[in-house]
Structure 1
């Protein structure tokens, strides 16, 4: 793989290439400022060399000294000024681009959120964020900008020398060509594969470390903690070995690079000595000017080999981003519905895109406004898939799920106005309790916050915290118990005032006393709302208007708790098992 491979990837790229056009004016300005910066640096040394030689040779006219002094000051001031402005423009350009890339990455993952754990490893996403996005950033700052600027200077230098001597310009074309083209190509061939290997190993370390930290309890319980440590140390040692090879090659390459600049300097010195002969004054004053002007150009040409060898890793990063799901443009206008909401599940079938096996088969159900229904079933029976379909996160392969006759998937994010959800593990963000509650209603007043906190039974807890509602919540809300997090989630829902509430197994992992107290709070505060309660056991089931049981994607029983108690032996057996009666 080489730089040609990068260009081939960019031809079909839908992530990075669009920013060339979107921010082309800033890009052209940054490149222009970069060229002017090095021009000023070279011109500063050129004028300084001429000025020193001229001042030492008793000039015939003071203007021969005064004009170079003015130019030296101008170029001396211009170099840092243009450099500073160029850094501002180029970094602003790159930061806008990477910011948009991150937003696009989040949007791409968000639309795939239902299948996130199925399609992505957490470590892979961290690798995209920490390695790939940063590599794309370096693609511009360390490869594209320096390379184009160096090529512009290369052409300018050859044309400038050609004005004095076409033959020596051809010689410099070859000598500088070694620095500009041959050494970078050598770096790509020898070190490019190592650079790509280094990046892939870092991404793998991110993935392995993330997965194993998240599953550290499994390592501990299986008494294989040392095995993981040994595996991680082996991976790090392999990465260090690649780094050592990279550094060894870079030292050799840098030595050859400096050697080439030495040869160029000597060649320029010999040429100027012959082209501008003389011991004092006259044309001899140009010798120092030409020779000294070489040194600032080293800063322009020296980064090229290192920049070239990184193109393989850029190619891999761009490829990783383009393999993410394409963004789908959603309708910006959500349908409007009014009045009491009736949820109808009409002969719904569903199978996942990668499988032909149906997860749900012919589910048919109607929920009237204010009705409370429990959906029971074993793990893998299709309960969670049905919940995703009701929320509109998935679209039925056959049949329809509608609110007042409108398909739920057409609402997009606006479904939250009609449907509120409390999950198994509600997430609390690292901000104040008040901000966490206002996720349900951004305009809620402090008085309204205290009202819902009181309704869910957390008033005393919040009052006892250091800053009340302004107390900071730890990341993921770990300072609160499972039941307390669920009550805070209920408070959000109460602020949201959605008419339909979906309870997705919110009592999983709670002890029986806490579970029953939470169930009582839920159904007391959700009176008058349509409640869909997905659960795996029957505690509190008698508070529901209807109970359905899903097995292998099909409805196998339905009715009110009292009806099923009287007529369905399987239901009675389930209740006995749930109560621990054998």
Structure 2
């Protein structure tokens, strides 16, 4: 029980930045929701109270219908008021939750975006999906299933005990004890018993998310290797483990519901006995109130019943909040105003003593690497597979953080820059094309561009002849993944997108893999023609069209082993001439 109250305090403590702030931000709406909730249950109890009195009074055959006219009117009023207030309360509470979850998702996006380089290296895709799919839903349920019902139930509890105190203090204390079992004792016991189960279920669900994400992302490899059945077996095993935990919790919930019903039945019996004794000596008129008091209790079951189940899930909410707190911190004011882009002095790139190794590995991919790419120049980066070419590109792009050293872009340190797409464009091996028109795919480079500007970028990328042959022109559907077009045409669409993006630094990461030599040569000729005067860092695996580069460097074991212009290396470096001969055979 102590652990449950500790969890509740943790969730709403001043250190919490994911749940507590929204109580203050939307406090008026919260007050309205609680007030409407109270009115809902008040109308429900009042409806049963007046109905019970009306039935008893009518059974005694009053001499005139006017004697029961007031309870008739009140029954109609409370009957209309209950669903009306219920609807308004649901509308308000879900409005609260939608506002809150919208803010949390925005904050989550900002937290990941503000440390995009950290997010990709420190958080698995499955973990991020787990936060989006489960943790935010848990925080949403924290309000709908725990906070709102518990607060409304506690308020009703206090009001009922106080009102019964006007009739009989001993009976009021008895009802305080019995109702306290429902809304305080049983929920805390439930948390104490099920805490470990809730944690196990949530942990297994996160494992399921990670396995499912990894498997789906590699579904092609599972199929090609003929191990599709193994994929299904692994997933079904993880899902079965989750179902077992769900079954155990559901079994406990059913037993708990039965106990709640028994306790509530005891409350009803206690009320019947007290009301019978209290009004017994007051004649027939007094007995008319017995049914009223007893029936008024039944709607309270809807208020007190859900509290135990809602409070049982507190450990799950605590775990979700802890997941949020592991994300990078974002100042609340940053959510409303995105910082303006920093203006670069030039388009140079300086890599100063950069070392990098992936977490969990001691092998250095880059070891105190230093390199200066002059503004407007093209530098080709070569090396064997695994020598760090793509890692270097990710470091320059800001997708990874160096373990040592720093990277300076346009004389501004990389960590100062926020929206990297404002400064650096990337043409990689497999650009993603969406299932929409060519025009819309290219417009992703600059959503504010006019149709004329998009068409100009398409023409500069060498796609005009392709567009002219299509019946719908630039409005032609690309289809998912761009499969309607060849690999070279897909890369040209991506190139047009970069041209529209209009940044001064471009990273080209082996975009010609899988293309035939003729298509590769034509694509590279177009790329370097339209990117003239840009700063280009060209990650490549061979020397076809290397004459487009102003400088060539060769990476090996995390160091630069070869550096110079293509002509200089061709004249003075035997190893470079050997590589040339291999590519031009």
TM-score w.r.t. the length of structure 1 is: 0.90
| 2:501 alignment partner in structure 1 | 496
Q: CA deviation at 1:540?
A: 1.1
Structure 1 equivalent of residue 106 of structure 2: 103
Match of 1:156 in 2: 159
Pairing of 1:43-82 with structure 2 (within 5 A): 43-59=46-62, 64-82=67-85
User: CA 1:342/1:89 → structure 2, altered by over 3 Å: closer, same or farther?
Assistant: closer
Q: 2:234 and 2:406 mapped to 1: Cα distance?
A: 50
Q: Which runs of 5+ in 2 are unaligned?
A: none
Distance 1:353 1:230, change over 3 A: closer
1:578 corresponds to 2:583 = yes
Instruction: Tell whether the 8 Å contact from 1:381 to 1:552 is kept in structure 2 after alignment.
Output: yes
What is the distance in 1 between the residues matched to 2:226 and 2:175? 66
User: 1:383 aligns to what?
Assistant: 389
Summarize the Cα distance change of 1:447–1:314 in structure 2 as closer, same or farther, 3 Å threshold. same
2:7 matched to 1:6?
Answer: yes
Query: Residues of 1 paired with 2:248 and 2:351: CA distance?
Result: 64
Can you list the C-alpha shifts for 1:444-497, whole angstroms capped at 9, x where unaligned? 232332333233233354455574433444444444443222111110122233
Instruction: Report what 1:550 is aligned to.
Output: 555
- CA offsets per residue over residues 402-432 of structure 1, 9 Å max, x none? 42x444543422x545543222222223443
How far apart are residue 273 of structure 1 and its match?
0.9
Q: Say if 2:191 and 2:313, in contact at 8 Å, map to a contact too.
A: yes
- Counterparts of residues 431-442 of structure 1 (less than 5 Å): 431-442=436-447
**Using a 3 Å threshold, how does the CA distance of structure 1 residues 402 and 455 change in structure 2: closer, same or farther?**
closer
Aligned to 1:22: 25
Rounded to whole Å, the distance in 2 between the matches of 1:368 and 1:179 is: 72
Deviation larger for 352-361 or 381-390: 352-361
CA distance 1:541–1:7, change in 2 (3 Å): same
User: Structure 1 residues 248 and 362, CA, compared in 2 at 3 Å: closer, same or farther?
Assistant: closer
Q: What SS does the aligned partner of 1:203 have?
A: helix
TM superposition shift of 1:571: 0.8
- For the 8 Å contact 2:344–2:409, the answer to whether it is kept is no
Residue of 361, 370, 374 corresponding to 1:363: 370
> How far, CA to CA, are the matches of 1:484 and 1:185 in structure 2?
63
**1:480-522: CA deviations, max 9, x gaps?**
4432221111101222333332212222333333322211221
Name the structure 2 match of 1:204.
Answer: 207
Aligned to 1:422: 427
Of 424-433 and 483-492, more deviation after overlay is shown by 424-433
Equivalence map 1:27-46=2 (5 Å): 27-46=30-49
- For the 8 Å contact 2:546–2:566, the answer to whether it is kept is yes
1:60, distance to aligned residue in structure 2 (A): 6.8
1:506 to 495, 508, 511: 511
Q: What is the match of residue 459 of structure 1?
A: 464
Relative distance call for 1:37 and 1:399 in structure 2 (3 A) is closer
Aligned counterparts of 1:425 and 1:552: Cα–Cα separation in 2: 26
Distance 1:546 1:20 in 2: 59
Partner residue in 1 for 2:137:
134
Contact 1:50 1:285 in 2 (8 A): yes
Superposition CA RMSD, Å: 2.9
Q: CA deviation at 1:245?
A: 2.3
2:526 equivalent to 1:521: yes
Deviates more, 1:24-33 or 1:508-517: 508-517
Task: Sort the Cα spacing of 1:198 and 1:71 in 2 relative to 1 into closer, same or farther, 3 A.
Answer: same
Q: 1:421 to 1:35 in 2, by over 3 A?
A: same
Q: Conserved in 1, the CA contact under 8 Å of 2:347 and 2:505?
A: no
Matches of 2:192 and 2:349 in 1, distance apart?
63
- Match for 1:169 among 149, 168, 172? 172
Alpha-carbon separation, structure 2, partners of 1:344 and 1:162: 78
Relative distance call for 1:551 and 1:27 in structure 2 (3 A) is: same
Matches of 2:387 and 2:481 in 1, distance apart? 29
Q: Given that residues 396 and 407 in structure 2 are in contact (C-alpha distance below 8 angstroms), is that contact kept between their aligned partners in structure 1? A: no
Instruction: Say whether the 8 Å CA contact 1:47–1:72 is kept in structure 2.
Output: yes
Offset from partner CA, 1:217-271 (integer Å, 9 cap, x none):
4434554433333333333333333233223222222222222222211221111
Match of 1:401 among 394, 400, 408: 408
Alignment map for 1:241-260 (pairs within 5 Å)? 241-260=244-263
Per-residue deviation, residues 510-543 of structure 1 (Å, max 9, x unmatched): 3333322211221222234332212122111012
560 and 490 in structure 1: CA distance in 2 versus 1, 3 angstrom threshold: same
Change over 3 Å in CA distance of 1:363–1:18 after alignment to 2? same
Distance 1:577 1:57 in 2: 109
Q: Cα deviations across residues 363-401 of structure 1 (Å, max 9, x unaligned)?
A: 1424143x3221222344343344345445667744652
Following the alignment from structure 2 to structure 1, what is the Cα–Cα distance between the partners of residues 200 and 342? 50
Give the 3-state SS of the residue equivalent to 1:429 in structure 2. coil
Partner of 2:232: 229
Deviation at 1:63, TM superposition (A): 5.7
Mean Cα deviation higher: 328-337 or 111-120? 328-337
Question: What SS does structure 2 have at the residue aligned with 1:106?
Answer: helix
Distance 1:465 1:156 in 2: 74
Q: Where does residue 336 of structure 1 map in the other structure?
A: 343
- Is 2:152 aligned against 1:145? no
- Per the alignment, do residues 419 and 113 of structure 1 end up closer, same or farther by CA in structure 2, a change over 3 Å counting? closer
Structure 2: distance between partners of 1:449 and 1:116: 32
Aligned to 2:492: 487
CA distance in 1, matches of 2:100, 2:490: 38
Label 1:112 to 1:515 Cα distance change in 2 as closer, same or farther (>3 A): farther
Residues 83, 118 of structure 1: alpha-carbon distance in 2 compared, 3 angstrom cutoff? same
Quote the offset at 1:144 in angstroms: 0.8
Equivalent residues of 2:349, 2:372 under 8 A apart:
yes
Cα separation, partners in 2 of 1:5 and 1:430, compared to 1, 3 Å = farther
Give me the whole-angstrom Cα distance separating, in 2, the residues matched to 1:111 and 1:87.
35
**1:372 counterpart residue number:** 378
Per-residue CA distance 1:285-331 (angstroms, 9 max, x = gap) = 11111011011111111112211221121122112221223237699
The answer on whether the counterparts of 2:373 and 2:379 sit within 8 Å (CA) in structure 1 is no
CA shift for structure 1 position 111: 3.4
